Structure 1
Amino acid sequence: MGCNTGVASILVIAGSGLSPAITYFPYAEHALVLLGSLYMLYLAYSLARASWENVGEYNEASPPGIISGVAAQYMNPKAWIVAISAFSIYVATGHTYGMTLEIFCGVFFVICFLSLWVWSIAGSYFSGMIVGIRIFNVSMAIFLA
């Protein structure tokens, strides 16, 4: 729930003025894209190097709360890039902008919630089928990069 709330609030922030400010300064937009791309490559590298060594610690830990999910999204450059891109593509400016912003954020929240729910169920189901974690991690890292 925290990830969804974080993404929805980032959409509100982007739609309330950040997106036009970023698009007004094209170099800032390019810098965000570059930083987001570098972050994705870092995540891919980290994933490729991951192992099962500390998996017991993760199984015993309590799941993160809403605040942790929101904080994770606020530190996630991909979420900011998606929000800024989404507004520049899908949300029209004009006299109905406020209503369009509310509808867009609501639809995005629902889709994000359903996507994360399906992703969690699929991950839980398929995690027992993974035989070679190293091969899986490298494969996922390649897809991410």
Structure 2
Amino acid sequence: MPFLSMTLFAAALSLAPGPVNLIILSTGVTHGARAALRFVVGATVGFTALLVLTGLGLSATRAFPEWVVDMISCLGALVICYFGVQLIRARGGFASHAVPIPGFWQGAALQWMNPKAWIASLSGVAMFGLQGDTWGLMQFAALYFAVCFVGIGLWAPLGEWLSKELNTPLRQRMFTITLGLCLIALALSLSAPAVARLLGLS
């Protein structure tokens, strides 16, 4: 097993900004790093399950018609937009309870609706030739679980640190609005190909 290559692949995709990471960041900012732990664990478990099932042949292209996968992507985009809107509408600074704390099942389910997670799973299985290699797939999944947990989990303490730097109501408000807009923009950009296919534009 190309351990180093797989580790770098998992680390790069886990650390890269995406919808799940930005939600973890926002939770760390508004509620503290510890509050994000359940969501981090759920997102890690959800992605690992998706990776394993992808490697076992239940990929989007084999298990479901393309329009079903596109609908899942669009649904995921709506969920991500919901978190973005909650951040934009939140008032009262970081102590406000207007922004809900996402939990384990939200993290797990969101990965299955996250286009970035599907791309990471499909490309990882294909890149390392894990189709039909159950033992290799399980090793990769175990490695990815550990790297993913650390990679996405780091966004929570980063958020908590940012909350201390953003020490005025105006800075806090501008940050939550910016983060909410980034989430919405990211969701729309990731789901744009699926929307175009559903509308027959591509």
TM-score range, shorter chain: 0.5 to 0.7
- Corresponding position: 1:2 with 2:47: no
- Corresponding position: 1:137 with 2:174: no
Partner of 2:157: 121
Superposition pairs of residues 77-116 of structure 1, within 5 angstroms = 77-78=113-114, 81-82=118-119, 84-93=121-130, 97-116=133-152
Give the % identical residues: 17
Offset of residue 6 of structure 1 = 2.5
Cα root mean square deviation, aligned: 3.6
**Paired AA for residue 44 in structure 2:** N
State the alpha-carbon separation in 2 of the partners of residues 14 and 70 from structure 1.
20
8 Å CA contact 2:43, 2:108 repeated in 1: yes
1:11 to 15, 30, 51: 51
Shift in alpha-carbon separation, 1:42–1:28, aligned structure 2, 3 A: same
State the alpha-carbon separation in 2 of the partners of residues 113 and 94 from structure 1.
24
Shift in alpha-carbon separation, 1:31–1:84, aligned structure 2, 3 A: farther
Q: Which has the higher contact order (CA 8 A, sep 6+)?
A: 1
Offset of residue 93 of structure 1 = 4.7
8 Å CA contact 2:81, 2:187 repeated in 1: yes
TM-score, structure 1 normalization: 0.66
8 Å CA contact 1:5, 1:70 repeated in 2: no
- Give per-residue Cα distances to partners, 1:30-61, cap 9 Å, x unaligned: 541453145325523651463224863378x8
Partner of 2:65: 28
- Give per-residue Cα distances to partners, 1:60-109, cap 9 Å, x unaligned: x8x77xxx5256313541176246523552341577x0221012102211
1:69 to 104, 108, 131: 104
Shift in alpha-carbon separation, 1:110–1:3, aligned structure 2, 3 A: same
Partner of 1:56: 96
Divergent runs of 4+, >6 A: none
- Corresponding position: 1:40 with 2:77: yes
State the alpha-carbon separation in 1 of the partners of residues 70 and 52 from structure 2.
20
8 Å CA contact 2:57, 2:131 repeated in 1: no
Partner of 2:194: none
Find the residue that maps to 1:103 and give its secondary structure: helix
Unaligned runs of 5+ in 2: 1-40, 189-202
8 Å CA contact 2:83, 2:180 repeated in 1: no
8 Å CA contact 2:43, 2:104 repeated in 1: yes
Find the residue that maps to 2:129 and give its secondary structure: coil
